[in-house]
Amino acid sequence: MTDRTAFVTGASRGIGLACAKALAAAGARVVLAARDASRLEEAAREIPGATWVELDLASPQSIKDAFAKAGKIDILVNNAAITKDGLALRMKKDDWDAVIATNLTGAFLAIQQVLPGMMKERWGRIVNISSVVGEAGNPGQSNYVASKAGLIGLTKSIAQEMASRNITANAVAPGFIETDMTAVLSDELKTAMLARVPLKRLGKPEDVAAAVRFLASEEAGYITGHVLDVNGGMYM
């Protein structure tokens, strides 16, 4: 990935930071993007040569500004996401709109920002981080599930539109991964989660990052429109 620049959203921690580290280790220049400047600064110190930009995916103007600062991008990893869980019957429209705006519309607008440069170069890699729940559903998360299922559909459409320009678009669908979000769960809930995973362990951010690194590589040049599950076998 020498001479390639990768832009990773939600890169200040967790899966996004692991993806940034993996791409940097493979030789890419990495631009970290997230909302929290202090966390971004700290994360960038862990990756030689990394730069960072503030990015709020709920704001179209923030997206334009961030990509204008970042310059030409060869690899885009759409990882940033939020949750506002609740049963569909009682879900507030604001909670629906916020999750769709960040997780799906924000990812789409980020893709729009990088496509002109990728088309000019006739090379590009787009990797969207979906979720196992985007394939299997999950009660109490209709907004999040819809956003992650939408990312899969978006991935397939972009793959078809951009294939003639040697731009690939793929998705990675993680299962239960050890992150800040799962760290706060009770032992009882973790045990129940693991009962659904044939490999009997939570995934690590590095497991997801390895899949992203592969899909962003030259070796994955004949793979597009694919959803790569990284879920320990919980959904097949």
Q: Is residue 235 part of a domain?
A: no
- Per-residue pLDDT of 4-44, as tens digits, reads 999 999 999 999 999 999 999 999 999 999 999 999 999 99
Q: Is residue 144 part of a domain?
A: yes
Q: Is residue 47 part of a domain?
A: yes
Q: Report the number of distinct structural domains present in the chain.
A: 1
When pLDDT is averaged across residues 200-212 and rounded to a whole number, the result is 97
Residue 190 has pLDDT above 90, yes or no: no
Give the model's confidence band at 212: pLDDT under 50 very low, under 70 low, under 90 confident, else very high: very high
Q: Is residue 218 part of a domain?
A: yes
When pLDDT is averaged across residues 179-198 and rounded to a whole number, the result is 86
pLDDT, residue 185, reads 79
pLDDT, residue 79, reads 98
Q: Is residue 29 part of a domain?
A: yes
- Per-residue pLDDT of 103-146, as tens digits, reads 999 999 999 999 999 999 999 999 999 999 999 999 999 999 99
User: Is 144 tagged catalytic?
Assistant: yes
pLDDT, residue 183, reads 79
pLDDT averaged over every residue in the chain: 96
Among 106, 144, 150, 171, the active-site one is 144
CATH number at residue 140: 3.40.50.720
3-class SS string, the chain: CCCCEEEEECCCCHHHHHHHHHHHHCCCEEEEEECCHHHHHHHHCCCCCCEEEECCCCCHHHHHHHHHHHCCCCEEEECCCCCCCECHHHCCHHHHHHHHHHHHHHHHHHHHHHHHHHHHHCCEEEEEECCHHHHHCCCCEHHHHHHHHHHHHHHHHHHHHHHHHCEEEEEEEECCECCHHHHCCCHHHHHHHHCCCCCCCCECHHHHHHHHHHHCCHHHCCCCCCEEEECCCCCC
pLDDT, residue 179, reads 87
When pLDDT is averaged across residues 58-69 and rounded to a whole number, the result is 98
Q: Is residue 48 part of a domain?
A: yes
Q: Is residue 143 part of a domain?
A: yes
pLDDT > 70 in the chain, percent = 100
Domain that includes residue 114, residue range: 5-230
Q: Is residue 236 part of a domain?
A: no
Residue 181 has pLDDT above 80, yes or no: no
